[in-house]
Structure 1
Amino acid sequence: MVIFAVWMLFFDSNSLIIHSELNEDISDLENEKEYYRNEIEKDKKAIKELSTEDGIEKLAREKYYMKKDDEDIFIIEYEDSLKIEKKNE
């Protein structure tokens, strides 16, 4: 009986070691699945936003700095947002 128990716990193809490894894999895959579900939701929101004229105009203005013919664009950058290299003195 002891030999059978040892065999089933450690050497069999359905051993506890393999079960624990498979449970870890399942957990990792479930976490990955949740991550991708969240990413899909973000993408759906972005697609919904870009499906309107206002959304497209907002993206064009903010990301690509596009403007209408009769407009001027001024980009204001604050000192703390600039990447300035410090010189060694």
Structure 2
Amino acid sequence: MGKLWSLLWSKLRTKYGVVIALFVFWVGFFDEHSLLQHFQNINKLEQLAKQEVLLRNKIVSDKRKIQELRTNLTNLEKFAREEFLMKKENEDVYLIVEED
């Protein structure tokens, strides 16, 4: 290991070795396509994949709910009453708000 290190150190001390070392350092940490950016992109890709799964499940659920509302008038009426506070002409609506 000592000989390898001394050989590597002797090669790095030349002007070509310094330029190569600076290039590797620059590409590894400061370049637009650096290793840091690469790992951040991998992490973001994983987060987006998880979000995609959640959103696809929500789309399926919403499509099911829309189909149910289109085919069943009782459910449509219940949805309108709960979400939009709609009422029939001869009804009074009372809202009960529970405080924590």
1:56 aligns with 2:73: yes
2:53 to 12, 30, 34: 34
* Matched residue type, 1:8: V
| TM-score normalized with structure 2 length | 0.52
Inter-partner Cα distance in structure 2 for 1:8 and 1:62 = 57
Ranges of 4+ aligned residues in structure 1 off by more than 6 Å: none
**Matching residue of 2:44:** 25
**Judging changes above 3 Å, is the alpha-carbon distance between structure 1 residues 61 and 36 closer, same or farther for their aligned structure 2 residues?**
closer
Task: Describe the SS at the equivalent of 2:33.
Answer: coil
**Judging changes above 3 Å, is the alpha-carbon distance between structure 1 residues 7 and 58 closer, same or farther for their aligned structure 2 residues?**
closer
Inter-partner Cα distance in structure 2 for 1:61 and 1:28 = 36
Query: Any stretches of 5+ residues in structure 1 without a counterpart?
Result: 67-82, 84-89
1:11 to 30, 46, 58: 30
**Judging changes above 3 Å, is the alpha-carbon distance between structure 1 residues 62 and 32 closer, same or farther for their aligned structure 2 residues?**
closer
* Matched residue type, 1:12: D
Larger radius of gyration, structure 1 or 2?
2
CA RMSD of aligned residues (A): 3.0
Between Structure 1 and Structure 2, how many residues are aligned?
A: 69
Query: Any stretches of 5+ residues in structure 2 without a counterpart?
Result: 1-19, 82-86, 88-97
| TM-score normalized with structure 1 length | 0.57
Higher helix fraction (1 or 2): 2
**Judging changes above 3 Å, is the alpha-carbon distance between structure 1 residues 61 and 43 closer, same or farther for their aligned structure 2 residues?**
closer
